[in-house]
Amino acid sequence: MAVGQCDFPIMNDVAGITLGTACAGIKQTVKDDILVIQMSEQATCAGVFTQNAFCAAPVHVAKANLAHQPRWLLINSGNANAGTGEQGMQDALLSCAELAKVVGGKENQVLPFSTGVIGQPLPVAKITAVLPKVVKDLAINHWGKAAYAIMTTDTFPKGVSKVITVAGESITINGISKGAGMIQPNMATMLGFMATDAKINQALLQDCLAAAVEQSFNRITVDGDTSTNDACILIASACSAAPEIVAGTDNYTIFADAVMSVCKQLAEAIVRDGEGATKLMRIKVKEALHDEEAVRVGKTIAHSPLVKTAFFASDPNWGRILAAVGRSGVENMVLEQVQIFLDDVCIVRNGGRAEDYTEEAGQAVMDREEITVTVKLGRGTAAQEVLTCDLSYDYVKINAEYRT
């Protein structure tokens, strides 16, 4: 189940980037579960990774290999290769080495990524057996196949394609992501792969990605769980005719804004596909002292099982939202200054229920598929937004039966 219209878009080609997929039968034999992304020799690559202390073996390897001019990404779904100890590290390294043999590159030029069940050995033999087929499948127009191959509990593939103009020349930015459960960003709780044909040095590309992730993937939550395998990668192939993107210029602003837009659209798609989700909620916190305070309040509301289940039931139980704001850790909160809204309906004012609030007005909002909760703290000018979804019966069912 997904909230809203979630059709996969037409993806523009990104010069210098090719993608190939195949089915290795890691957890199922119906769809492709292996993806290889190949980039141009002159490409730069940036990455942001999970902060979970039990981060998966491929995360360790990818972070190390990022410093060696990567040329290939190797992604598998169906197995996370996390919680697998030293054997997991050896399996991740072996996967990189086997792909390097097939493509004629160096093993430290391969970045591995895995997603799926934690604690089970990676079936390396299944993966390596199909690598020649995957490499043979490499093509510039396989973004749709790639988006399907990385899915686990996702109900739809997620992709965004954007074209901008810089100095009269076009630059394309594509992105795909997977994620529906175990979504509480501490970095980005998902796998995301973006590519552009822009020319930009690695350090600036890294800054651009980090800034975009902070305002997109780090502003979403489905269930409050931070995964062991999260990673977001941005590749720049340098194949566009546009001039090099340089820091402190209008061209950089145009490019960075476009990357931010792609990240935000992918992040929203993940929330729309939250496991069992029936509603999308935008939690907007305004008039905070600083961004950190605004985010903390927003995530406290978004993480609350009581708030999320009330939204699933379309129950205007506004006291649950008020309670979440109250326990969010805001120091010296002046209750009389706080206002809380469901869309445009004020539910809290002057320290209690708004005088003009009616249950009928609240119910009309809660019956909607997409709802905005606005909290005005009356303390400053900072504002932030967090996206989340409701918590349904299906979420429990999906995760209770995840390994069956």
Q: Which of 189, 226, 228, 278 is catalytic?
A: 189
CATH of domain 17-272: 3.60.70.12
27 Cβ contact list (under 8 Å, min separation 6): 33, 77, 78, 79, 116, 117
What does the pLDDT profile of the chain (404 residues) look like in tens digits? Answer: 688 878 999 999 999 999 999 999 999 999 999 999 999 999 999 999 988 888 899 999 999 999 999 999 999 999 999 999 999 999 999 999 999 999 999 999 999 999 988 899 999 999 999 999 999 999 999 999 999 999 988 889 999 999 999 999 999 999 999 976 655 555 544 799 999 999 999 999 999 999 999 999 989 987 766 677 788 999 999 999 999 999 999 999 999 999 999 999 999 999 998 877 899 999 999 999 999 999 999 999 999 999 999 999 999 999 999 999 999 999 999 999 999 999 999 999 999 999 999 999 999 999 999 999 999 999 999 999 999 999 888 888 877 876 66
- pTM summary value: 0.93
Cα–Cα distance, 99 to 89 (Å, whole number): 16
What does the block give as tokens for 33?
């579960």
Measured CA distances, 340 to 32, 227, 330, 354, 374 (Å): 46, 31, 15, 9, 6
By three-state DSSP, how is residue 386 classified? strand
Q: Where are the alpha helices (DSSP H) in 113-193?
A: 124-136, 143-149
Nearest alpha carbon to residue 265 among 158, 351, 346: 158
Show me where the domains of the chain are located: 17-272, 280-400
Measured CA distances, 399 to 77, 309, 355, 393, 396 (Å): 17, 16, 42, 10, 5
CATH of domain 280-400: 3.10.20.340
- Annotated active-site residue 189? The verdict is yes
Which single residue is written with the structure tokens 């939202």? 321
